[in-house]
Amino acid sequence: MIETDRATALAAPGPAERVRLLLVRLFVRLGVLPFLLLIAVIVFASLSENFLTVRNLTNVVRQAVYLLIVSLGQMLALLTGGFDLSVGTILALTSVVSASAMAAAHAAFPELPWLSIALGSMAGLAAGTAIGVANGLGVALFGVSPFIMTLGMASVGFGIALYLTGGVPVYGMPVLFGEVFGFGTLLGVPVPILIAALLVLVMLVLVYRTRLGRSFYAVGGNIKAARLSGIDTRRVLFTTYVLCALATSIGGLLLTARLDTGEANIGASMPLESIAACVIAGVSLRGGVGRVENVVLGALFIVLVQNGMNLARIESYLQTVVLGLLLILAVIADQLRLRAMASLRA
């Protein structure tokens, strides 16, 4: 009896082991994002007294809108086991085409600003979505690697944007466009934030409540098994890149309204930032794993870190280094999380 009690005591984990197991379970369940978010808040709050003010946090949410919208589209590509390196180009092409069309329509019909805004917006959405259509055809129909396809289209789209503008910003849009969609408010809430919130709701329904949403996970988890189970994997992949481009184009329109110009050079860092936001949020690079609400937090975290570094007066070049390191850290954390899941199951 004494030997049995002694063996039981030796087998029972001590307080330190129980804490370790609790942290491992939290890490497996929540991912690395909550830990990084806590560290970021503590560090930047100690470096700047303005970091945790309501005004600064509101500014962070407003700035995060554009990255958030692009990251939602990027998440779809990652869920299916790919990614989209052309999101920056889609932003630029949407901005240039929408601003050019809007300026031309406004010059022809100065008394009808809403008509100019509608025509310019449709032109910009069509141009950006066309990049997604090309990506989808290449990946789904011809089996081109997402890396090569989206990288190639990034170069093509950027060249078109520069050709259309000659590298010169496009002006002449209706003032109403920037006043409403760039700086306007509705019931005290900035319009871009409301649009982003609406897109998040749409994405929640699409991913969690529709057959197409379940197909994203199935294709990313095992494309051969998905095909054998009756899923049209080509259609799913094509739809993925079209929806990614459409979401990015909406972000491009809002960013154009914010800048009040059409720019061919915007969005250069968006591929890295959107992938980092998704991976930090626990979206697996292997596909089949990821949640919309976590991506929202991931985008907010990226902008929060950038904001904190600005307040701490860290140079922009070093900020790029930090962002790259965060992406590497997130990938390493994803590997560790998979190992921890396997160990807990064992």
CA distances from 196 to 60, 134, 166, 183 (A): 14, 25, 31, 14
pLDDT band at 10 (very low <50, low <70, confident <90, very high): very low
Higher pLDDT pick, 48 / 256? 256
Over residues 255-264, the mean pLDDT reads 93
* pLDDT, position 147: 94
Mean of per-residue pLDDT scores for the chain: 89
At residue 6, does pLDDT exceed 70?
Answer: no
Q: Which tokens sit at 100? A: 């050019």
The torsion of the CA quartet 17, 28, 34, 88, rounded to 10 degrees, works out to: 150
pLDDT tens profile 162-172: 999 988 999 99
Q: Which of 242-256, 266-280, 320-334 has the lowest mean pLDDT?
A: 320-334
Q: Which tokens sit at 10? A: 């030796």
pLDDT tens profile 325-338: 888 887 787 778 77
Crossing angle between the packed helical segments 15-30 and 33-47, to the nearest 10 degrees: 100
pLDDT tens profile 273-323: 999 899 888 888 888 888 999 999 999 999 999 999 998 888 878 888 888
Q: What whole-number percentage of the chain has pLDDT above 70? A: 94
Rounded Cα distance between 100 and 124, Å, is: 9
Q: Which of 148-152, 187-191, 330-334 has the lowest mean pLDDT?
A: 330-334
Under CATH, what is the fold of the domain 35-345? ABC transporter involved in vitamin B12 uptake, BtuC (1.10.3470)
Cross-strand partners of 147: none
Q: What whole-number percentage of the chain has pLDDT above 90? A: 63
Domain residue spans of the chain:
35-345
Over residues 191-197, the mean pLDDT reads 94
At residue 3, does pLDDT exceed 70?
Answer: no
- What predicted TM-score, i.e. pTM, was given to this entire model? 0.89
* pLDDT, position 128: 96
| Terminal Cα-to-Cα distance of the chain (whole angstroms) | 30
pLDDT band at 137 (very low <50, low <70, confident <90, very high): very high
At residue 248, does pLDDT exceed 60?
Answer: yes
pLDDT band at 39 (very low <50, low <70, confident <90, very high): confident
Over residues 266-279, the mean pLDDT reads 90
Q: State residue 268 phi and psi, 5-degree precision.
A: -60, -35
Q: How many CB atoms lie within 10 A of CB 206?
A: 16
At residue 121, does pLDDT exceed 60?
Answer: yes
Over residues 118-139, the mean pLDDT reads 97
State the alpha helices, DSSP H only, in the chain.
2-11, 15-30, 33-47, 54-79, 87-108, 113-136, 146-165, 175-181, 191-209, 211-221, 223-228, 233-259, 270-280, 292-311, 316-345
SS3 189: strand
Rounded Cα distance between 256 and 98, Å, is: 8
* pLDDT, position 178: 93
Q: Are 79 and 217 in contact (CB under 8 A)?
A: yes
